[in-house]
Amino acid sequence: MHDVSGQAAHHAPPQGFVRKHVFSLDHKVIGKQYYALALVAVLTGMVLSWLMRLHLGWPNLAIPGLHWISKTGAPGNLMTPELYLQLMTMHGTIMVFFVLTTAPFAAFGNFFLPIQVGAEDMPFPRFNMMSFWVTFVAFLVMIASFFVADGPTLGGWTQYAPLSAVGAVAGPGQGSGVVLWAASIGIFCIGQLLGSLNFITTTLDMRAKGMSLMRLPLTAWAWFITSCIGLTAFAVLMPACILLILDHVAGTSFFVASNLVINDQLQPHSGGSTLLWQHLFWFFGHPEVYVAIVPGMGIVSHVLITNMRRPLLSAKVMIASMGAIAFLSYMVYGHHMFVSGMNPFSALAFSFPTLIITIPATIITLLWIGSLYGSKLRINTASLFALGFISMFVSGGVSGFFLAQPSIDIMLHATYFVVGHFHLVMAVAAIFGIFSGTYFWFPKMTGKMMNETLGKLHFWLTFVGAYCIFMPFHYLGIMGNVRRYAQFVDDYLQPVLGVHKFITVAALLTGAAQLIFLYNLIHSHFWGKAAPENPWQATSLEWSIPSPPPFDNFGGKPPVVYHDPYQFGVKGSMGDYIMQDSPEPSPTGD
Amino acid sequence: MVRENMATTVHQPPQIRTRPDPSRLGQGRNGGGNPTRAGGSPRVALDDSSPASRTGIWVAIAAITMTFAAFTSALVVRQGASLEAWHLVLPRILYLNTLILLASSVTLKIARRRFRSFLLGAEGERVAVLRGLYATLALGLLFLAGQYMAWMQLKAQGLYLATNPDSSFLYLFTAVHGLHVLGGLAGLLHAIRQLGRSDLRASTLAATSHYWHFMDILWLYLLFVLWMRL
């Protein structure tokens, strides 16, 4: 298991293009590769959502070029309901797995975790390289399903059985589309398990001298906690995918009950349990939302502390709350299944921890707000996006209180209320965390500064846009607007078509605003102002080395850590802060 | 495997320790980190100085445990959902395979004990270590062959993967466990190769053997679950 082939101490830097940039063992290159993958994935997912939104707003609109995506699904470039569902499934899957998991956790975590703990690299660089390339293959397999006869699966990112398990009889894409989906997600799980293995061992075993656990920056804690969640969650999703594939290709009956008739055809399966898939899936699925959000919590804390120039009210409480969220995340998954037909008593049993998990989440929010109160926050794009994260997290989180109660959830389940809830609290919040991290760490990752004016413009357009898109979802949901319907032209939802049009316009404009970010990212990468070593006067170890860092991070001189991660508001030799590896004494003695 | 021009890891070129280094004894994990750097001398890169593989193997074991917990819960739910009562007699050869797997753990244990005295300077013990590792490898392969025989026996009875829930789980458990055993065999081969080059670390061997023993325990557990059910 132990990789010892990379040589240590005074080894030469990697030579050749392939070793340096493609099959690199360097955690920083792997982190950037993950970031690039997430960027491609998020653009794909966003285009898919535009197509869906266009159809929801203007159901009879022919979308030029739609037949390129699916011949059967778009006669005359008009979207069929099946194609709508296929786009929706791929949007959800790509965003959750290949963006919200890869960017905040795998991309930033790979790049910065080893540096922040003071290590040259992760302990198993080969596993690390495999982790990325396996994830990349998973993405290719997922995209490949666009190119099979029936197109991708239409079962939603949750892929509920039995319709996901019986094959093509359940609709276009439910045959080979589901098999490709399950194979892709199974492969993805392997990649994330390898990544988590590296993250956990890096945090526990690779820390520099003096870097005790309590001296780890909050980002490092967040990645560590996330990798613990990921390790257990992905280890459960993988067997679920294996069982799903077996139901397809080997004719087993894990998820299909006896005597099931689909499309007038009696299914040959017998004796399986439909609920089993939901249990296995949500045992992964709920922790997964914390895989997406906890790294964001770490990034936001890190960015805010640096820009407030003072530490959080209590870093220990922050860490304990993130830990509590991780622990509780396994006991709440049943709240996705209140209307699944499971025992009402279990609904109650899942409702309690669901309400309890809001306590650590609230504590974290209050820690941020309490620490912000009265601070002279430096307003830059990174800190704006961190504030935006808090805003989205709170706005989306509040609707969670309603959904956590089975009696109310029966009304709101499978409506746009839920869609609005999870997009704000998990998706947009996590994306804001990614943006915050990007604007904050870009100088370190590339050695170039990003344009702050464009950044702030990008923030305000995205911030206002995200609310315009997702706030109306809640009202639609309360009105009874069901999710996953391709169009609402002939029924009681006709009057809300105007709202859908408004959301569509907002989505297109907000999406267009991301071009500013893309331009900023690419332009700054090549022509940006050179970044100094420590542009934000931050204290953690990544700011003590050149930008971009050399291949062995610390140039062969391992750092020694003398201080807590956030020594701000003190009298140091360089200003109002003391770096973690600075031997000068701190007035607080930490 | 390319051995030059690698990107970074923190490990020194692996070296066999000849004498315990008192300065390293009792060093805790907390804040320890990057152990190869201590003292600045490459000789301090002791073969048991890297706790990462030790932690790593427990992390891997935790993940595998979760995977099989998921399979077990599937079995329990599936059993509850199924109205029919299936009765499948476990192929007898499975019990023999169990004994073979347990024996392989014993040979690995012996190899590890010999390796300790080899580290302390008994150069002649290298052969004994090798013999133990090869024996483990052979028994592991024999176990896998035995599992395959069990499949053949099931097939002869007309029991296939999809025939009934019990046969599904029997095939599934043996296959997934077998894949993990293959991983253990790869670890053993890795250790044998490193021993041949005299750069086997005690921590590598420890990780390999923890994993291997875990395969035993996992198999006993799966056999128990299947036996309870069938």
Q: What would the 3-class secondary structure string for A98-120 be?
A: HHHHHHHHHHHHHHHHHHHHCCC
DSSP string across B216-228: HHHHHHHHHHHHH
Classify strands A261-262 and A265-266 as parallel, antiparallel or unpaired: antiparallel
Report the distance separating Cα A572 and Cα B6, nearest Å. 39
The interface predicted TM-score (ipTM) is 0.91
Cβ(A416)–Cβ(A473) under 8 Å?
yes
Report the distance separating Cα B181 and Cα B222, nearest Å. 14
Report the distance separating Cα A304 and Cα A382, nearest Å. 8
On chain B, the residues whose CB falls within 8 A of the CB of A193 are 63
Mean pLDDT value of segment A398-418: 93
Minimal CA separation from B117 to chain A, in Å:
22
User: Least CA distance to A251: which residue of chain B?
Assistant: B162
Classify residue A161: in a domain, yes or no.
Answer: yes
Tally Cβ neighbours within 10 Å of residue A376: 9
pLDDT at A491 (0 to 100): 76
pLDDT band, residue B119 (cuts 50/70/90): confident
Report the distance separating Cα A85 and Cα A82, nearest Å. 5
pLDDT above 70 for B152: yes
User: Least CA distance to A556: which residue of chain B?
Assistant: B37
Tally Cβ neighbours within 10 Å of residue A135: 28
Mean pLDDT value of segment A202-215: 94
Coil, helix or strand for A480?
coil
Write the pLDDT tens digit of every residue in A326-353.
999 999 999 999 988 888 888 889 999 9
* Angstrom distances, CA of residue A488 to CA of A55, A74, A156, A411: 10, 18, 19, 19
On chain A, the residues whose CB falls within 8 A of the CB of B187 are 1
Tokens of B224: 């128990």
Report the distance separating Cα A59 and Cα A136, nearest Å. 35
Mean pLDDT value of segment A280-308: 97
Q: Do B74 and A275 touch (CB under 8 A)?
A: no
Minimal CA separation from B178 to chain A, in Å:
15
Tokens of A58: 């203007």
Report the distance separating Cα A364 and Cα A348, nearest Å. 26
Q: Which of A6, A201, A215 sits opposite B8 (nearest CB)?
A: A6
Chain A (98-137) residues lying within 8 Å, Cβ to Cβ, of chain B: 117-121, 123-125
Write the pLDDT tens digit of every residue in A507-525.
999 999 999 999 999 999 9
Q: Do B33 and A212 touch (CB under 8 A)?
A: no
User: Least CA distance to A194: which residue of chain B?
Assistant: B60
For A51, the domain range is 27-258+270-578
Report the distance separating Cα A315 and Cα A213, nearest Å. 12
Q: Identify the bridge partners of residue A261 per DSSP, sorted by sequence position.
A: A266
Classify residue A19: in a domain, yes or no.
Answer: no
Mean pLDDT value of segment A120-132: 95
pLDDT above 70 for B20: no
Q: Identify the bridge partners of residue A578 per DSSP, sorted by sequence position.
A: A567
Mean pLDDT value of segment B2-8: 43
Q: Do A1 and B60 touch (CB under 8 A)?
A: yes
Tokens of A9: 């101490």
Whole-number average pLDDT of chain B: 80
Burial (Cβ within 10 Å: 0-12, 13-18, ≥19) of residue A263 = exposed
Instruction: Identify the residue among A1, A329, A337 best suited for mutation to test binding to B, counting B beta carbons within 10 A and taking the highest.
Output: A1
Report H helices in B38-92: 52-81
- pLDDT cut 90: percent of chain A above it: 84
Mean pLDDT value of segment A535-540: 96
On chain B, the residues whose CB falls within 8 A of the CB of A11 are 6, 8
pLDDT at A581 (0 to 100): 93
Q: What residues contact residue A370 under an 8 Å CB cut-off, 6+ apart?
A: A313
Q: Is A508 on the interface with B (CB under 8 A)?
A: no
Report the distance separating Cα A367 and Cα A546, nearest Å. 32
Q: How far does chain A reach from its first CA to its final CA, in angstroms?
A: 38
pLDDT above 90 for B124: no
pLDDT at B82 (0 to 100): 67
Mean pLDDT value of segment A404-430: 94
Q: Name the region of A341 (left: φ>0; alpha: ψ -120 to 50; beta: rest).
A: left
Q: Which own/partner contact pairs does A417-420 have at CB distance under 8 Å and 24+ positions apart?
A: A417/A473, A417/A474, A417/A476, A417/A477, A417/A478, A418/A477, A418/A483, A419/A473, A419/A477, A419/A483, A420/A396, A420/A470, A420/A471, A420/A472, A420/A473, A420/A474, A420/A476, A420/A477
Coil, helix or strand for A530?
strand
Instruction: Identify the residue among B10, B65, B169, B173 best suited for mutation to test binding to A, counting A beta carbons within 10 A and taking the highest.
Output: B10
User: Least CA distance to A210: which residue of chain B?
Assistant: B31
Mean pLDDT value of segment B184-202: 91
On chain B, the residues whose CB falls within 8 A of the CB of A251 are 161-162
User: Least CA distance to A10: which residue of chain B?
Assistant: B12
- Nearest Cα neighbor of A201 from A6, A10, A27 is A27
Report the distance separating Cα A586 and Cα A397, nearest Å. 38
pLDDT above 90 for B53: no
Cβ(A381)–Cβ(A442) under 8 Å?
no
pLDDT band, residue A567 (cuts 50/70/90): very high
Mean pLDDT value of segment B47-56: 71
Minimal CA separation from A286 to chain B, in Å:
15
Instruction: Identify the residue among B34, B72, B73, B198 best suited for mutation to test binding to A, counting A beta carbons within 10 A and taking the highest.
Output: B34
On chain A, the residues whose CB falls within 8 A of the CB of B8 are 6, 8, 11, 25-26, 120-121, 125, 551-553
* Angstrom distances, CA of residue A178 to CA of A71, A165, A173, A533: 19, 8, 7, 48
pLDDT at A1 (0 to 100): 37
Q: Do A2 and B6 touch (CB under 8 A)?
A: no
Domain B66-229 belongs in CATH node 1.20.120.80: yes
Classify residue A589: in a domain, yes or no.
Answer: no
pLDDT at B48 (0 to 100): 44
Q: Which of A19, A119, A272 sits opposite B34 (nearest CB)?
A: A119
Q: Which of B31, B71, B81 sits opposite A272 (nearest CB)?
A: B81
pLDDT at B44 (0 to 100): 32
Q: Do A239 and B11 touch (CB under 8 A)?
A: no
Q: Identify the bridge partners of residue A266 per DSSP, sorted by sequence position.
A: A261
User: Least CA distance to B64: which residue of chain A?
Assistant: A235
Minimal CA separation from B177 to chain A, in Å:
12
Report the distance separating Cα B103 and Cα A215, nearest Å. 46
pLDDT band, residue A225 (cuts 50/70/90): very high
Report the distance separating Cα A545 and Cα A551, nearest Å. 11
Tokens of A496: 């809300």
Q: What residues contact residue B157 under an 8 Å CB cut-off, 6+ apart?
A: none
Report the distance separating Cα B142 and Cα B148, nearest Å. 10
Chain A (510-569) residues lying within 8 Å, Cβ to Cβ, of chain B: 551-553, 558, 561
pLDDT band, residue A84 (cuts 50/70/90): very high
The CATH number linked to A84 is 1.20.210.10
Q: How far does chain B reach from its first CA to its final CA, in angstroms?
A: 46
- Nearest Cα neighbor of A71 from A141, A149, A181, A164 is A149
pLDDT at A2 (0 to 100): 39
Q: Do A205 and B55 touch (CB under 8 A)?
A: yes
- Chain-centroid distance, C-alpha A102: 6
Tokens of A414: 């499978």
Q: Which of B67, B168, B208 sits opposite A238 (nearest CB)?
A: B67
Q: Is A21 on the interface with B (CB under 8 A)?
A: no
Mean pLDDT value of segment A87-114: 97
Q: Do A200 and B55 touch (CB under 8 A)?
A: yes
- Nearest Cα neighbor of A567 from A294, A311, A262, A314 is A311
User: Least CA distance to B183: which residue of chain A?
Assistant: A1
Query: What one-letter code names the amino acid at B122?
Result: A
Report the distance separating Cα A108 and Cα A32, nearest Å. 8
Q: What residues contact residue A164 under an 8 Å CB cut-off, 6+ apart?
A: A153, A155, A170, A174, A178, A244, A255, A277
Minimal CA separation from A408 to chain B, in Å:
28
Q: Do B59 and A6 touch (CB under 8 A)?
A: no
pLDDT band, residue A436 (cuts 50/70/90): very high
pLDDT band, residue B33 (cuts 50/70/90): very low
Q: Do A251 and B3 touch (CB under 8 A)?
A: no
Write the pLDDT tens digit of every residue in A25-57.
999 999 999 999 999 999 999 999 999 999 999
- Nearest Cα neighbor of B79 from B209, B169, B192, B140 is B169
Q: Do B208 and A1 touch (CB under 8 A)?
A: yes
pLDDT at B30 (0 to 100): 36
Q: Do B30 and A257 touch (CB under 8 A)?
A: no
Q: Which of B7, B36, B60 sits opposite A125 (nearest CB)?
A: B7
pLDDT at B86 (0 to 100): 63
- Nearest Cα neighbor of A339 from A412, A263, A447 is A412
Total domains in the fold of chain A = 1
Coil, helix or strand for B166?
helix
Mean pLDDT value of segment A59-83: 91
User: Least CA distance to A274: which residue of chain B?
Assistant: B81
* Angstrom distances, CA of residue A453 to CA of A437, A458, A532, B122: 17, 9, 19, 69
* Angstrom distances, CA of residue A502 to CA of A91, A471, A482: 20, 11, 18
Q: Identify the bridge partners of residue A265 per DSSP, sorted by sequence position.
A: A262
Number of residues that make up chain A: 590
Classify residue A8: in a domain, yes or no.
Answer: no
Report H helices in A58-100: 81-93
User: Least CA distance to B199: which residue of chain A?
Assistant: A4
Buried b (16+ CB within 10 A) or exposed e, B116-149: eebbeeeeebbebbbebbebbbebbebbbebbee
pLDDT at A108 (0 to 100): 98
pLDDT above 80 for B40: no
- Nearest Cα neighbor of B211 from B188, B195, B230, B178 is B188
